[in-house]
Structure 1
């Protein structure tokens, strides 16, 4: 099965790199790529290093789909997601795109790709990443950044949570190495290449920032937002373009189905997550019809 674009005669000056993090369901990823395909769009796929790359190889036959060469293992709420995004940035930035759109392989668009490109052209220079100051707008997340979390200690199978409790009981509260207002939001975002390059520069200049976030829980929801919020980019920050429903109390995204269609449409967002073909395969056909995406089989 090959991917065939349906908008190849359209002309645009905008160049967008879709950076997609995935670990399973290559056929679902194929439908995502097909729905997003548009002149000026390229796809950089980071496959979790723990996953077998073989089932994904056929996707890279398409000329605008590339594999992120430097793969890293990803564990839930750990630093691997951040590293995968940074690895993607490093491979994308030399190719000079206007925007980098960071997604999961379980996302899907709610609007046509052409409408997304027109939106970026009309709002060129703005950064679509939610950055809520934690103390004022997200106080429930403060313990995730100021307490010790050992999510990156993968070799420790037993006693990890007990050790965390002991560390947080006897050690002083953690202090961020810079005079930052910590901010956060969903870790899926659309930013200019200028902002992505700035993030890489900051982390290279201050490796203590990465060290700090490696002992946070779900640091991908804070590190990029905090760096941009505490910079000249703050005035350019806008809400992210993704719709998501969170399961109460456990930090997981709810799997969306056809029952959520009207809520998704009413959100006005360009993308939604999280979808799973094993839970509701029909929702993909519904969304493809909504946005005018057609799968073509060769």
Structure 2
């Protein structure tokens, strides 16, 4: 149907071109498994990439495709794993390559990106529209993987996400509980490990599974700038960097001055392997509720601004957060934002006592309470760095408590300042008119399946089904030694979605984000 619709839109008669289905050779080879059973009169059912013959899962006895390393039991690159459908994590056992999860790969998965002449939007859910928007680089080999997990010799099954963005994820409570009760101590990578691994940058990038290609034209043409503010657990911060890394993006890392020098040196060695990643030499002793929470992001904004004129949005992160969207999905969302900024803001629920000591803000500005987490366009950063009114407001916030929750929110919700992408409506974040999409962060408004630290939910494995369905961009927060399987599975979910995009599944629908109040009511 997709091909027929495409042909209706593009008249290729009397031309040397045609539109056909295209599958990798190994997929066509595996499909031959259908021929024998059908000749024998058996019932066959294909559910996504899972073949059932007479109601029983088909388990091939052949070896993996020749371009994969069969000695390492590399998984079938077309089979969704992790939270996509049923996750079976098995360590210490030999399992068929079609069922082995990405998380147990010792080496990278090599995915061949095939050139396509035409694509159809949203997989022909509506009338097909032909576009070359996401034509791949022909024969470019992409390597990525999720690094090997240290898991006990026990199968952990999680019924949940089916691999499509609009799917309902219920979660198998029994298996989630089993994962929570698995008590083996995880040995995380330490700074000295990274210092050793990065002595050969090519090997480090390959072995750790960094994606060193823009993958799609839309991603190539929409670079993003990130700051990562970290103070502990180098492996967790490095895995965050790996999850969001693309060569067209830019990354500024601030390591707390209280942090051990070995962590700073380890992160610096990681950054030395990339042209677009840098660690700030200026370091702040970050203290809760003070300017030191705001200054690292401001410093990163300045450095990122000077590094490149190409990036279009700035996103600030901490080392204990993780993406809920792939880079492709994130770009599509930011395109839908159309220059608007995604910041929390409230006046009714503001803690006004935080501002009493400072007096009234300058330039008839109304102070607004918000969150420290922001997604802002390049023009917003330009205003912060170069407009005198922004400097005056910054000096005012130095006399306030929790300035990181005041400064950015105030700039975005005072439209008379003319900040690019600022909000024109009433500055009250809610779930309907002006939702805050930047973070999934629970202060007590939902059941936390992990634990609470200073009222914030530290994500546990039982929170994964909700995260898989969430439309938010990033989640806060994880503790490295608490429910590590939750972090593992979320990492694997994002890797699986990314892989599906590599293979041409561009069905992500970003239209919802274009309907949000802060998008419709921006300067």
TM-score by length of 2: 0.47
Are 1:269 and 2:477 counterparts? no
Equivalent position of 1:79 in the other structure: 291
Shift of 1:209: 2.5
Give per-residue Cα distances to partners, 1:73-127, cap 9 Å, x unaligned: 2111110121111111110112121111111111101122221122223333121
Residue range with higher mean Cα deviation, 177-186 or 71-80: 177-186
2:482 to 264, 279, 296: 279
Structure with greater helix share of residues: 1
The runs of 5 or more residues in structure 2 that have no matched partner are 1-196, 198-203, 426-433, 446-451, 498-523
Aligned Cα RMSD in Å? 2.6
Equivalent position of 1:228 in the other structure: 412
Relative CO higher for 1 or 2, CA cutoff 8 Å, sep ≥ 6? 1
Q: Distance in 2 between matches of 1:100 and 1:24?
A: 23
Give per-residue Cα distances to partners, 1:128-154, cap 9 Å, x unaligned: 22222x2x3x14x222222x4xxxxxx
Q: Distance in 2 between matches of 1:6 and 1:74?
A: 31
1:126 to 315, 340, 344: 340
Give per-residue Cα distances to partners, 1:156-207, cap 9 Å, x unaligned: xxxxxxxxxxxxxxxxx833233222223221111111101101234x4565
Shift of 1:266: 3.5
Q: Which runs of 4+ in 1 moved over 4 A?
A: 204-208, 247-252
Give per-residue Cα distances to partners, 1:263-287, cap 9 Å, x unaligned: 3234310100011111121122110
Q: Distance in 2 between matches of 1:144 and 1:8?
A: 46
Q: Distance in 1 between matches of 2:496 and 2:238?
A: 12
Are 1:142 and 2:352 counterparts? yes
Shift of 1:69: 3.1
1:33 to 218, 241, 265: 241
Conserved? CA contact 1:244–1:274, under 8 Å: yes
Q: 1:176-215 alignment to 2 at 5 Å? A: 176-202=361-387, 204-205=388-389, 207-215=391-399
Shift of 1:257: 1.4
Q: Distance in 1 between matches of 2:437 and 2:221?
A: 22
How many correspondences in the alignment? 264
- The structure-2 alpha-carbon separation of the partners of 1:217 and 1:267, relative to structure 1 and needing over 3 Å to count, comes to farther
Conserved? CA contact 1:127–1:236, under 8 Å: no
The runs of 5 or more residues in structure 1 that have no matched partner are 149-172
Q: Distance in 2 between matches of 1:236 and 1:117?
A: 24
Q: Distance in 2 between matches of 1:174 and 1:21?
A: 30
Conserved? CA contact 1:190–1:241, under 8 Å: yes
Q: Distance in 2 between matches of 1:181 and 1:205?
A: 13
Q: Distance in 1 between matches of 2:390 and 2:326?
A: 39
Which has the greater radius of gyration?
A: 2
Residue range with higher mean Cα deviation, 240-249 or 280-289: 240-249
Shift of 1:261: 1.6
